[in-house]
């Protein structure tokens, strides 16, 4: 959204205005909710051109929608990217990316520090599609290099591992991907573009669970796929070769740098049907308008909570990249200079055999923190991952993911920090009783 003088507007301005101008007919300032399944064609010729991808426009909300399009343009602006496709959830954003880029027999190299649902999708769902996945320690660059084979078609990781709190060393992995001519896909959910733009360090495709910090209110489930526009897909068979699902259209030849997103939208999203609800897109837009303000408070509270827990006599360890004691502190300074995000984890003192019992006592004693399976809400949230979000993983997989049985994850909200530490202190003593 540049003016005639080509001014480059700041992040805070773009998070409020990018992708939208007031409605021409009504003058409505807010983005309208186009709660319509489909859209009328101007003529039979226009309908044919839309279906033939010779004109761009809205046909059916399963594929695109004017409300969702505003969110897509805004996210692309905040990432300095080519474009974005918003879909039903973060998990569907991830799966549609894999489905668009991979063929049976292909391989993926991924960080072992992933959200539990992501790890399951990579391990089991992709196996059903005859795709092999190798997991490596997030910052063991030689291990990443050794795991790459001629069949490897993408590298995958999370900017900040959920819930381990590890920070991915983006730059060397991005260079590794570039050297092998394969895309580097990064889930940036915990960082958001306010804290880190992975494309600045070599990432090519950025994924989001927009349910989390981007929306910030816990009201909507959404995901997003963002193409940085810095990867040449002309040698990627799934994008460059004739596509029999679309009358042998060559998406790269036809759309250039938009080829990946067009293939994802017009083939993968069309066929799988994981479409975003216009209402949910509207809700996400409302949250996105205050992203920078909320992130400042999330970071402040997370830092204070981490420091409080680190000094507490009933806490064994704390994992938060904002702490000087964190092995990821230097990486956080490099990739997250505004702050290390709003999520942290810690372990209660005591034996591992009694970890679950202590965790249950701790969580049930809390008054302000909500016990639920989400992060990035304005409310402070808490969960015990080993028995919930990561329950499907084996003990070995939990250890590899950096999720010991005593780990408790906190998503710091925007409440009064003194109230939050008061609540945590009470619950810690209740758990040790």
Q: For 348-402, how does the pLDDT look when each residue is reduced to its tens digit (9 = 90+)? A: 988 777 877 888 899 999 999 999 999 999 999 999 887 777 777 777 777 777 7
Residue 6 forms part of a structural domain: no
Confidence of residue 24 (pLDDT cuts 50, 70, 90): confident
Confidence of residue 56 (pLDDT cuts 50, 70, 90): confident
For the stretch 257-287, pLDDT in tens is: 999 999 999 999 999 999 999 999 999 999 9
Residue 3 forms part of a structural domain: no
- Residue 77: how many CA atoms within 13 Å on its side-chain side? 23
Residue 323: pLDDT over 60: yes
Query: Which of 287, 321, 339 is the endpoint of a domain?
Result: 287
List the structure tokens of 374: 């989400």
pLDDT on residue 402: 75
Query: Which of 287, 306, 337 is the endpoint of a domain?
Result: 287
Contact in structure between 254 and 260 (CB atoms under 8 Å): no
Per-residue pLDDT averaged across 78-87, rounded? 97
55 & 42 share domain: yes
pLDDT on residue 72: 98
Domain carrying residue 277 = 11-287
228 & 158 share domain: yes
Helices (H), 153-216: 170-180, 192-195
Confidence of residue 214 (pLDDT cuts 50, 70, 90): very high
51 & 200 share domain: yes
Q: What is d(CA 100, CA 50) in angstroms, rounded to the nearest whole number?
A: 21
Confidence of residue 2 (pLDDT cuts 50, 70, 90): low
Return phi, psi of residue 411, to 5°.
-110, 110
Per-residue pLDDT averaged across 212-219, rounded? 96
Residues 6+ apart with CB under 8 A from 335: 159, 167, 168, 170, 191, 196, 201
Residue 275 forms part of a structural domain: yes
Residue 5 forms part of a structural domain: no
Query: Which of 270, 287, 304 is the endpoint of a domain?
Result: 287
Best CA proximity match to 115, nearest among 152, 154, 166: 166
The CATH number covering residue 44 comes to 3.40.640.10
pLDDT on residue 5: 65
Q: What percent of the chain has pLDDT over 90?
A: 83
Cis peptide before 163 (omega within 30 of 0): yes
Per-residue pLDDT averaged across 63-75, rounded? 97
157 & 219 share domain: yes
Name the domain count of the chain: 2
116 & 217 share domain: yes
Return phi, psi of residue 85, to 5°.
-125, 125
Q: What is d(CA 406, CA 352) in angstroms, rounded to the nearest whole number?
A: 6
């Amino acid at each position: 959204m540049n003016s005639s003088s080509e001014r480059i507007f700041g992040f805070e301005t773009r998070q409020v205005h990018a992708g939208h101008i007031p409605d021409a007919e009504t003058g409505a300032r807010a983005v309208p909710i186009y709660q319509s399944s489909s859209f009328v064609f101007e003529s039979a010729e226009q309908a044919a051109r839309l279906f033939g991808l010779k004109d761009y426009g809205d046909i059916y909300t399963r594929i695109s929608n004017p409300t969702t399009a505003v969110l897509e343009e805004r996210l692309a602006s905040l990432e300095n990217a080519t474009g974005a496709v918003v879909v039903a959830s973060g998990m569907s954003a991830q799966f549609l990316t894999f489905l668009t880029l991979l063929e049976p027999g292909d391989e993926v190299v991924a960080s072992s520090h992933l959200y539990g649902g992501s790890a399951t999708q990579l391990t089991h769902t992709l196996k059903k599609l005859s795709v092999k996945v190798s997991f490596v320690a997030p910052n063991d660059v030689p291990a990443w290099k050794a795991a790459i084979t001629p069949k490897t078609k993408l590298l995958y990781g999370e900017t900040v591992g959920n819930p381990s709190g590890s920070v991915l060393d983006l730059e060397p992995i991005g260079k590794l991907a570039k050297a092998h001519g394969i895309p580097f896909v990064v889930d940036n959910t915990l960082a958001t573009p306010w804290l880190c733009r992975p494309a600045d360090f070599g990432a090519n495709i950025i994924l989001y669970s927009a349910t989390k910090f981007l929306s910030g209110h816990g009201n909507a489930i959404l995901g997003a796929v963002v193409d940085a526009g810095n990867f040449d897909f002309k040698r990627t068979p799934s994008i460059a070769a004739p596509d029999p699902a679309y009358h042998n259209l060559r998406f790269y030849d036809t759309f250039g740098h938009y080829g990946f997103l067009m293939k994802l939208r017009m083939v993968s999203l069309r066929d799988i049907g994981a479409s975003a609800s216009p209402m949910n897109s509207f809700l996400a837009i409302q949250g996105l308008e205050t992203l920078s303000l909320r992130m400042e408070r999330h970071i402040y509270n997370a830092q204070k909570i981490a420091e409080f827990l680190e000094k507490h006599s009933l806490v064994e360890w704390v994992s938060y990249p904002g702490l000087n004691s964190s092995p990821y502190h230097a990486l956080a300074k490099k990739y997250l200079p505004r702050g290390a995000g709003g999520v942290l984890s810690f372990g209660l003192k005591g034996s591992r055999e009694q970890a679950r019992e202590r965790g249950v006592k701790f969580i049930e004693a809390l008054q302000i923190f909500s016990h639920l399976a989400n992060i990035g809400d304005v409310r402070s949230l808490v969960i015990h991952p080993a028995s919930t979000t990561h329950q499907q993983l084996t003990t070995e997989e939990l250890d590899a993911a950096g999720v010991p049985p005593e780990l408790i994850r906190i998503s710091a909200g925007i409440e009064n920090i003194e109230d939050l530490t008061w609540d945590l202190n009470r619950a810690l003593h209740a758990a040790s009783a």
